[in-house]
Structure 1
Amino acid sequence: MFKKLIVFISFIIPFCFYAQDFSASWQGHFSYYNIKEVAQGNNKVYAASENAIFSIDPATNQLDQITTINGLSGETISTIYYSETYELLVVGYENGLMEIVFDNDDNVLTIVGIIDKPTIPPTSKRINHFNSYDNLIYISTNYGISVFDLARLEFGDTYFIGDGGTQIQVNQTTVYQDYIYAACSGGNGLRRALTTNTNLIDFSNWQTITSGNFTGVESQLDNLYAVRSDKRLFKVDNSVLTEMFLYADQPLDFRVVNDNLIVTTKNNVFVYDSDFSLLSQTVMDTNNFSTEFTSATIDSDFIYTGTKNFGVLKTELLNPVAFEEIHPESPLLNTPFSLQATANGVWVVYGEYDLFYNPYTNGGPHRRGISHLNREEWINTPYSEVLGARSLNAISINPFNNNQVFISSFFSGLLEIKDEIPTILYDDTNSGLEPLDLSNNQVVDDIRVGATTFDSNGLLWTTSGIVNNQIKSFNLSNNQWRSYTLNTIISGAEGNNGFKDIIIDSNGTKWMTAGYSYGVIAFNENGGNPLVKGIYSEEQNMPFTFASALALDRRNQLWIGTYRGLRVLYNTSNVFDNGNIEVDEIIIEEDGIAKELLYQQYITDIKVDGSNNKWIGTSDSGLFYLSSDGQKTIYHFTTDNSPLPSNSIRDISIDDVNGIVYIATTRGLVSFRSGSSGALETLENAYAYPNPVRPGFDIVEKKVKIKDISENVNIKITDIEGNLVAEGQSRTNQRYSGYNLEIDGGTAYWNGKNLANNVVASGVYLVMLSDLDTYETKVLKIMVVR
């Protein structure tokens, strides 16, 4: 009944809105290894990672995930709380956002009352703790305390309880004997006020019990306890503090569950009964789980402890010796940097460099591992197993042996993986790779390998920054390396810091994004007489010297993303012959006005799908899906209208076989099932599904798919008597064009309608496929039952 009341009231509250569930087309691939907080309720244990949540049902061991796919924001979670009374999970964020997740409901209610409050600095809006009392939640924040009414789903008063009514950081509150107590930082101590006082917004009604920095306060039956930042736990009695225990490490989490007091430090979990007798103590199992604890909760039999590296560890309450690791299948981290999709999976690395190809940013060069999604199973290789390779930043899979993968290190060289196992780290001692060559002739033991790719002959091409020979080929069959310089364009070894993208066209020309200053460089070894051409100047119509993304489409047109917009080189075949080469912007019409597509946008990646459409990622405007010529925006995904956890896109990779687009953002990895698949060379394996089309199938919306067709195909659908029902052609009836029969790369979509735009009757229908290039034909049968 409570939930029904909440849903009704929420419709009239202006600062609340429901998020959409996107599970039909999207999938989240968030990491659940680093747990920020655990909570308990509804006979479940909830665990929050950086921006996603999972629940554990102890009775069935079922794990359920709550992510941006279900409507979460994707922002960084700071705390969670479950209300048994109202059957809902409350989620607090570092930026002040609140969200409410209802049990057995697809709705997530977003509450922006704090985040939109103009009188509070953005740095002070962090939500630190939720404390429930009657139908209210006292929200501890970095500015004070806000009150939220769970029955009415509306904010009440906000208490600025610092001296003179200033904003101070409140870490936790509790209610004990008609008083609300607040544990405060900044020397503001432990404060309290009567809950019956109707004027708690007046700071003078708050009494300071003691000064100091307090991180937690909790009531347990007839006892009140507080934790200070000097690792001491106190019992509070009539404003008198009695020290109860000095911990080896600072308590990180402090709560009461089932009348037991739980104190969590990075290495221990202490559970006390109502007499402060130690009921249980969990000690970190460093032999099997080298990590740190973050928070803990209990049920009648087990302790559930959140960790930084292993999700939740479950152990017996009265015999906490053996641990069970619990979390959903997931990648290692929520900071994917580079992707490489395969059929039924994707490889992920987490190394970083900044805009100027500096790997020492954000604590780098980073010691992070590798993740590989293989048919719904995540295979994670930690840093300890990657042979010391740091700042792993780019991935190439051998097209002739998909079990052989090469991963670039922007510090250590090139890592080879065979059958999921790192086997060789190539550096200057065992390969043609070179360490940094600085202008003062100082050679630094720092090998910055960036973008790599395989050519049609199986040669692996690598790029390196701050060396004289920036591009190299590696022949895997004889272990032979060859080196080439780009110094006719680049000014000296230090002239270029790195290469983000490299692609190879049908003429064997290598196209590379060349650092911050040299735009795009084309290179062809030309039988021993190398050809090099640069495209980076204003005279060539480049909007900026920093090219950040490249893609070669199915018409051999080169799409170039830059720090300040998009360009296309329509004729790539004569790049070395044309002395006055220029690239073009794409002009679109918007509201009757001619505009440049993606004007001044920082383009982070470009990928081409099976229908020659373009997926374009940006640094702060989300993800664009454009028609093959760029004239039509099919989708523009942002955090507001999709499950993207961030509008900052780092990388995109497409599984052309299954039509899945993987999207790496600064806050995690998601995928979108676009349905667009790559075309095949023949019609041999073409098939249609569902087949038969049963009465329960919504043929108009979900459509019949005709899969594994060739690139240039004509399709006719007729009834059994030969009457034409629908017709389409690859380069005419493209998807999203409103035709009854649309073709998207290797897949055609039929909405079940005939030429009169009516849904067809029950019967058998013939699908006649004709390849317009090879004249190959094939006939399929589809049975429709209505």
Structure 2
Amino acid sequence: MFKRILFLFLVLCPLISVAQDFSDSWEGHFSYNNIKDVTASESKIYAASENAVFTYNILTQETSTLSSIQGLSGELISTIHYSLDFEALVIGYENGLIEIFLEEDSKVLSVVDIVDKPTIPPTSKKINHFNENEGLIYISTNYGISVYNLNRLEFGDTYFIGDSGVQSVVTQTTVSEGYIFAAGLDFIGLKRAELSNSNLIDYKQWTKISSGQFTAVEAVSNNVYAVDIGRFIYKVTGTNINGSIQFPTAPLDVKSANNELVITTINHVYLYDADLRIIAEVGQNDAFSTNYTSAITTIDSFYIGSSSLGVLQSPIDNPFSFKEIRPDGPSMNIPFSVKAGYNNAWVTYGDYTLSYNPFPIQTRGVSHLKNGAWKNIPTDSILGTTNLNAISVNPNKISQVFISSFQKGLLEVDADLATKLFNETNSTLDPIALPNSTEIRLSASTFDGDGLLYTLSGRVQSPLNSYDPNSNQWKSYSFEGLYTDAFGGEWGFSDIVIDNSGVAWVGSFKNGIIGYDFKSGTSKIKSLNEESQNMPTVSVSAVALDNSNQLWIGTARGLRVLYNTSSFFTDSNVQVSEIIILDDGIAKELLAQEYISSIEVDGSNNKWIGTIGSGVYYFSSDGQEAIYHFTKDNSPIPSNNISDISIDNSNGKVFIATESGLVAFYSGSSETKDNYNDAYVYPNPVRPTFNIVDELVKIKGLTDRVNIKITDIEGNLVAEAQANVNSRFGGSNLEIDGGTAFWNGKNLANNVVRSGVYLIMLSDTETFETKVLKLMVIR
């Protein structure tokens, strides 16, 4: 019945929308370690992490995920509930949003009534609990109780039941014997009212059973139990309560399942019958060190949500046996830095503030995506390092990565094992310029074309250091020509790139964009940080060198480009430039006043730019055309605050790290090659089931000077394209994006080609190298 009336009410209810599924172009890399709530259907367990959900099929033992990729908002989840009658998962969020996932149709409905309610303060909109009764969901919130009709997909009344009708925190409700019971804090306590009363919006219709602060109320059979902040559980009889048990630690979650009561504390789960007689209990297992957050039971097992191990399954008749259940993913949903390449991706969780303050100190592990699976290096295996941030992969040994610690120095990881920590005792890295300090605030790093690693550390006189992994030799470089105050002269560095001439381009917090030429014989150092040089601020937050040797500079107040890098040290009046675009005929500065957090250049010389507050932009090579602008509203990125972006040029996958999780976009582009040895076309053959117009034929392994001609077997020209002429998103039938070309199967007359064999002739316009590929099309 619910499914049949659904689309009618989607038309009639303007505050309900159907979320888009982005799984064709995106993939989610969310952590499912920290579980906020669990619930169950007859055959599945549902577990909510910070901003995503996974399901566990009890019979098949398979897991599946539900995240922003499938249409969830990406906001912080506070509670979930599964409706058996409507076969729907109801998800509540801290900002008041409600989403309903219809399992049979795989659709997500977004209900924004509470989010958009102007009379409720944003801090009071948190959804605390769902209680379903006869097609109605009673929603406990930080302002009171709202009623939602699952049959009609619409809200009913809202009850402000605090003393004198004020908005107050309701933690949980339950229904028993014709009454609705409400537990709450402050002005609520424990109250009840008759469900048949048509005037429950009047706070006077609610009878206060007990003052105090109650965290839960739950009915089991005909009995009602309430829990207060004093850790007592009470039996509610009429308008009286009687305390019988005080728990050693505060109950965090109270649920009814199978006519039994499930109570979860930080280190224990208790299962009671309807008369509060203990049936079974689960303590902690030393081999599974974690905190419990919530729990549900089936006929034979506990399913316990934890803070770091996902869901733990424990048989009711053998509560000493544990099994971890969670989908594959990184260790956390707060990526600080991401580095992708060679079909791998590395993630760290930092962090330091925008002003390079490392406190509070964070000890967090490292995550590594390899061959589609995540390997998480835990905090006890990173040699005591803290505030891990920038990642550099050795291009000559991709199993070896170097990770900056904004406290301890440089961590070397090889084959997923932390092997060495470089600090002041075994390298040229200097601690901050304070007496007896051992604190090394290391941030940006990169490898140059010769396989040397360059790192930068703040609050020292010689912040730039190089390391040769082959010879184990270190070398330091002083910035004395730029500043003399070692401690206060520069707090930290955001980015570093090294061009083909050996100049290091460095983004700094206090000195703008820095150029340092240390290979010219006599070291030269210079910075641009003044308004007269067209710098909008001294704080540079991102740096990228594009394929034309132009330097793209992200700042806290907008974007700049240094077009002529070769004259940087010789021109006495060097200036950076803003990019001017026409917006409806009006000249405007591109990304004016935006906080630029990351800039990446892809194989086509196009620019991926991350921001704080405005999501991700994908621009043409000159910035004049916005190809994509991804935000929370039109894409699965879970936040508009972008921490980092990294492109895996081997497959064109763009990894986007946000403050609320990591996602990846299939851009389809790839890096160019030096020759056509590895060139190929796919799919081949093109079968009738393949939608050639929309899904496109891909030709990979191209040089950056390629000319492509496609002919039929008789030699008639079908399509032609050349690098930097027929660029992607230009509207041509055959387009080139870095090392990949895309053909929509149409000929020069704009008609889809017939079945047959087609020849793809590749030629390099500089080296004159050629190669011919054969493609069969079956229609």
Q: TM over 0.5, yes or no?
A: yes
Are 1:351 and 2:350 matched, yes or no? yes
Quick check: 449-458 or 482-491, which moved more?
A: 482-491
1:776 aligned partner, one-letter code: E
- The residue number in structure 1 matching 2:420 is 424
1:421-467 residue CA offsets vs partner (Å, 9 max, x unmatched): 001111111211111104xxx34221101111111222211101001
- The residue number in structure 2 matching 1:387 is 383
| Partner Cα distance (1:171, 1:564) in 2 | 43
| Partner Cα distance (1:275, 1:168) in 2 | 31
- The residue number in structure 2 matching 1:311 is 310
Structure 1 residue 478, shift from structure 2 partner:
2.8
| Aligned pairs for 1:519-534 within 5 A | 519-534=512-527
1:615-664 residue CA offsets vs partner (Å, 9 max, x unmatched): 00000000000001111000000000000100000100001111100000
| Partner Cα distance (1:528, 1:507) in 2 | 12
Does the 8 Å contact 1:21/1:106 carry over to 2?
no
SS in structure 1 opposite 2:152?
Answer: coil
1:123-143 residue CA offsets vs partner (Å, 9 max, x unmatched): 000000000011100000000
2:477 aligned partner, one-letter code: Y
Q: Which of 358, 362, 365 is matched with 1:366 structurally?
A: 362
1:46 aligned partner, one-letter code: Y
Structure 1 residue 708, shift from structure 2 partner:
0.8
Are 1:405 and 2:404 matched, yes or no? no
- The residue number in structure 1 matching 2:491 is 497
Are 1:604 and 2:591 matched, yes or no? no
- The residue number in structure 2 matching 1:645 is 638
Q: Which of 500, 512, 515 is matched with 1:506 structurally?
A: 500
Does the 8 Å contact 1:42/1:87 carry over to 2?
no
| Partner Cα distance (1:42, 1:633) in 2 | 48
1:582-603 residue CA offsets vs partner (Å, 9 max, x unmatched): 1111111111111111111110
| Partner Cα distance (1:624, 1:720) in 2 | 42
| Partner Cα distance (1:589, 1:670) in 2 | 31
1:733-764 residue CA offsets vs partner (Å, 9 max, x unmatched): 00000001000000001111111111111111
Does the 8 Å contact 1:225/1:234 carry over to 2?
yes
2:146 aligned partner, one-letter code: S
SS in structure 2 opposite 1:700?
Answer: helix
1:201-232 residue CA offsets vs partner (Å, 9 max, x unmatched): 11110111110110000011121100010111
Are 1:445 and 2:438 matched, yes or no? yes
Quick check: 272-281 or 407-416, which moved more?
A: 272-281
Quick check: 241-250 or 71-80, which moved more?
A: 241-250
- The residue number in structure 2 matching 1:188 is 188
- The residue number in structure 1 matching 2:173 is 173
Does the 8 Å contact 1:35/1:294 carry over to 2?
yes
| Aligned pairs for 1:5-404 within 5 A | 5-186=5-186, 188-285=188-285, 287-360=286-359, 364-404=360-400
2:431 aligned partner, one-letter code: P
Q: Which of 654, 657, 670 is matched with 1:664 structurally?
A: 657
- The residue number in structure 2 matching 1:549 is 542
Structure 1 residue 491, shift from structure 2 partner:
4.4
Structure 1 residue 490, shift from structure 2 partner:
2.7
| Partner Cα distance (1:106, 1:313) in 2 | 26
- The residue number in structure 2 matching 1:747 is 740
| Partner Cα distance (1:40, 1:785) in 2 | 48
Structure 1 residue 187, shift from structure 2 partner:
5.4
Structure 1 residue 42, shift from structure 2 partner:
4.3
SS in structure 1 opposite 2:638?
Answer: coil
- The residue number in structure 2 matching 1:475 is 468
- The residue number in structure 2 matching 1:434 is 430
Are 1:730 and 2:730 matched, yes or no? no
Are 1:488 and 2:487 matched, yes or no? no
TM-score w.r.t. length of structure 2:
0.99
Does the 8 Å contact 2:162/2:187 carry over to 1?
no
Are 1:709 and 2:707 matched, yes or no? no
| Partner Cα distance (2:577, 2:260) in 1 | 69
| Partner Cα distance (2:587, 2:167) in 1 | 50
- The residue number in structure 2 matching 1:676 is 669
Give structure 1 regions of 4+ aligned residues with deviation exceeding 3 angstroms. Answer: none
SS in structure 1 opposite 2:493?
Answer: coil
Quick check: 250-259 or 451-460, which moved more?
A: 451-460
SS in structure 2 opposite 1:116?
Answer: coil
| Partner Cα distance (1:58, 1:92) in 2 | 24
Quick check: 479-488 or 580-589, which moved more?
A: 479-488
Does the 8 Å contact 2:39/2:47 carry over to 1?
yes
Does the 8 Å contact 1:303/1:315 carry over to 2?
yes
Are 1:571 and 2:564 matched, yes or no? yes
Cα pair distance change 1:595/1:255, threshold 3 Å: same
1:216 aligned partner, one-letter code: A
Does the 8 Å contact 2:161/2:188 carry over to 1?
no
| Partner Cα distance (2:712, 2:519) in 1 | 55
Does the 8 Å contact 1:436/1:443 carry over to 2?
no
Quick check: 692-701 or 91-100, which moved more?
A: 692-701
SS in structure 2 opposite 1:10?
Answer: helix
| Partner Cα distance (1:333, 1:99) in 2 | 23
Does the 8 Å contact 1:351/1:365 carry over to 2?
no
Q: Which runs of 5+ in 1 are unaligned?
A: none
1:328-383 residue CA offsets vs partner (Å, 9 max, x unmatched): 001010000001102222000001111111111xxx22010000010111000111
Does the 8 Å contact 2:617/2:626 carry over to 1?
yes
Does the 8 Å contact 2:209/2:241 carry over to 1?
no
Does the 8 Å contact 2:461/2:484 carry over to 1?
no
Q: Which runs of 5+ in 2 are unaligned?
A: none
1:501-548 residue CA offsets vs partner (Å, 9 max, x unmatched): 010001010000011x21110111135521101011111111111111
| Partner Cα distance (1:467, 1:443) in 2 | 14
Does the 8 Å contact 2:444/2:495 carry over to 1?
yes
2:751 aligned partner, one-letter code: N
| Partner Cα distance (2:136, 2:362) in 1 | 44
Does the 8 Å contact 1:81/1:89 carry over to 2?
yes
1:4 aligned partner, one-letter code: R
- The residue number in structure 2 matching 1:614 is 607
SS in structure 2 opposite 1:9?
Answer: helix
TM-score w.r.t. length of structure 1:
0.98
Aligned residue pairs total 778
1:421 aligned partner, one-letter code: L
Does the 8 Å contact 1:269/1:282 carry over to 2?
yes
| Partner Cα distance (1:401, 1:254) in 2 | 52
Does the 8 Å contact 1:338/1:394 carry over to 2?
yes
CA RMSD of aligned residues (A): 1.0
Does the 8 Å contact 1:3/1:87 carry over to 2?
no
1:279-338 residue CA offsets vs partner (Å, 9 max, x unmatched): 1100111x2111100000111111100000100000101211110000000101000000
